[in-house]
């Protein structure tokens, strides 16, 4: 991105302060991550970004996008707008129109990040491709992603998150995708949406900005989507998943249309994500052989069924960014199919499930026991109050322990004390439980363990 203050003012209908020829080459809304040449966007939230403008300028920010009613340093190059978040979004739409890439938008209760990574890997074999970094998938992260793409980008792959009605309408309208994908409808956000049908309705908002004739991809086995009314004319289904799939901890392998596919991750549930990515690739002119080669080594975003090694040599599978009952059961089923020996399960609360949460947690008991674990550690009040007693009742001799969410240090210490070199530790929870701290302790902090 390279935009002058004059262009910023035009894009946002803002008031310019300073030299209109001043050019910015990046964007940041966090003063701690500002790079020289950035535009610092002063957002009003829990921490008012206007309080950190001078810090951002001292770190090399070249200009500021600020909101009316705030005092700015007199010498600060700036564009002032009525609402800085709206201004950021307007600016991103301006830049998106300037670059003009094909846009692929991906949402879903689970699998959207993995699918995003797969799509980007496939498309980058033919096109200059840029994808959403980490979890920049909301009303702030999405415009920052757009503004971060290089000027020569051919295809922009955007992940879109959702936690309330109307959010995907806004994101889709901003991005105007050429292709939109829903990976699945799960139980995430039941606390707010009450039913899966309401979740499906909100996910369908991703079509709000879909270009005329744009491709809309949905899973063939989800009637809440396939039977929905007013679907775009160019709607296609991906799946069903092939029956003959070989699963292991290292990879998942299958053949379709004469082409062998192998993805470097656990679970047949990820084959469905791959099917969606393949259909995106086909729509943009990629052949099966090229896509299979790209998928064999694609880069997976951190903490999504990520394979790691603890400092004592034990193997870890970190899947600690997100969790819902459907996805958790799927990955536990994959572990049971693999017959993983010396399995230690670390499962944290699945959040935002509302009043159904306790029953949905307890219902994991059969899937947990099917993995034949040597040890189960449960983290968070719902797991401890719901799944722990269910496991104790079904398998009284099982080594199962409970920890509260503020006891991660104790959990890490206990794991280090008991973990053997030939153990496999699988960790999964909603991000709010922060099991990534346990992963970091096992992979980076072992030397500090007395």
Residues belonging to the binding site for ATP are: 108-114
Beta carbons within 10 angstroms of residue 99's beta carbon: 17
**Interacting residues of 46 by C-beta distance below 8 A, sequence separation 6+:** none
Cα–Cα distance between 134 and 131 in angstroms, integer? 9
Which tokens belong to 57? 């300028």
What's the Rg (C-alpha) of the chain? 23
- CA–CA distance, 43 with 273 (Å, rounded to integer): 35
* 3-state DSSP of the chain: CCEEHHHHHHHHCCEEECCCCCEECEEECCHHHCCCCEEEECCCCCCCHHHHHHHHHHCCCCEEEEECCCCCCCCCCEEEECCHHHHHHHHHHHHHHHHCCEEEEEECCCCHHHHHHHHHHHHCCCCCEEECCCCCCCCCHHHHHHHHCCCCCCEEEEECCCCCCCHHHHHHHHHCCCEEEECCCCCCCHHHHCCHHHHHHHHHHHHCCCCCCCEEEEECCCHHHHCCCCCCCCEEEECCCCCCEEECCCCEEEEECCEEEEECCCCCHHHHHHHHHHHHHHHCCCCHHHHHHHHCCCCCCCCCCEEEECCCCCEEEEECCCCCHHHHHHHHHHHHHHCCCCEEEEEECCCCCHHHHHHHHHCCHHHHHHCCCCEEEEECHHHHHHHHHHHHHHCCCCCEEEECCCCHHHHHHHHHHHCCCCCEEEEECCHHHCCHHHHHHHHCCHHHCC
> ω into residue 240 within 30 of 0, thus cis?
yes
Q: Which residues are annotated as a binding site?
A: 108-114
């Amino acid at each position: 991105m390279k935009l002058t203050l004059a262009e910023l003012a035009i894009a946002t209908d803002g008031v310019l302060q300073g030299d209109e020829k001043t050019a910015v080459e990046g964007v940041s809304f966090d003063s701690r991550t500002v790079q020289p040449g950035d535009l610092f966007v002063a957002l009003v939230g829990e921490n008012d970004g206007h309080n950190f403008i001078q810090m951002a300028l001292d770190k090399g920010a070249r200009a500021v996008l600020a909101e009316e009613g705030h005092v700015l340093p007199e010498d600060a190059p700036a564009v002032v707008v009525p609402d800085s978040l709206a201004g950021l979004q307007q600016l991103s739409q301006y830049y998106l129109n300037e670059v003009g890439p094909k846009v692929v938008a991906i949402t879903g209760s689970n699998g959207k990040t993995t699918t995003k990574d797969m799509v980007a890997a496939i498309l980058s074999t033919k096109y200059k491709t840029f994808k959403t970094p980490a979890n920049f998938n909301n009303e702030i992260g999405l415009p920052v992603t757009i503004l971060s793409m290089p000027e020569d980008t051919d295809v922009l792959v955007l992940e879109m998150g959702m936690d309330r009605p109307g959010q995907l309408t806004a994101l889709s309208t901003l991005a105007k995708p050429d292709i939109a994908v829903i990976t699945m409808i799960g139980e995430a956000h039941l606390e707010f949406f009450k039913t899966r049908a309401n979740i499906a309705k909100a996910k369908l908002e991703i079509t709000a900005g879909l270009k005329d004739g744009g491709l809309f991809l949905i899973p063939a086995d989800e009637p809440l989507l396939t039977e929905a009314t007013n679907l775009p004319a160019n709607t296609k289904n991906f799946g069903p998943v092939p029956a003959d799939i070989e699963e292991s901890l290292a990879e998942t392998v299958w053949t379709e249309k004469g082409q062998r596919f192998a993805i470097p991750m656990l679970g047949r549930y990820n084959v469905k994500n791959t099917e969606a990515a393949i259909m995106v690739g086909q729509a943009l002119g990629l052949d099966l052989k090229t896509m299979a080669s790209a998928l064999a080594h694609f880069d997976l975003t951190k903490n999504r069924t990520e394979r790691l090694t603890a400092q004592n040599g034990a193997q870890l599978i970190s899947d600690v960014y997100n969790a819902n009952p459907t996805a958790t059961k799927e990955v536990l089923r994959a572990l049971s199919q693999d017959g993983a020996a010396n399995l230690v399960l670390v499962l944290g609360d699945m959040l935002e499930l509302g009043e159904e949460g306790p029953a949905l947690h307890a219902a994991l008991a059969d899937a947990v026991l099917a993995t034949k674990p040597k040890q189960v550690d449960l983290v968070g009040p719902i797991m401890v109050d719901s799944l722990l007693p269910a496991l104790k009742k079904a398998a009284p001799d099982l080594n199962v322990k409970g920890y509260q969410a503020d006891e991660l240090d104790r959990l890490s210490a206990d794991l280090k004390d008991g973990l053997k070199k030939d153990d496999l530790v699988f960790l999964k929870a909603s991000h709010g439980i922060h099991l990534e701290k346990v992963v970091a302790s096992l992979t980076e902090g072992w030397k500090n363990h007395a």
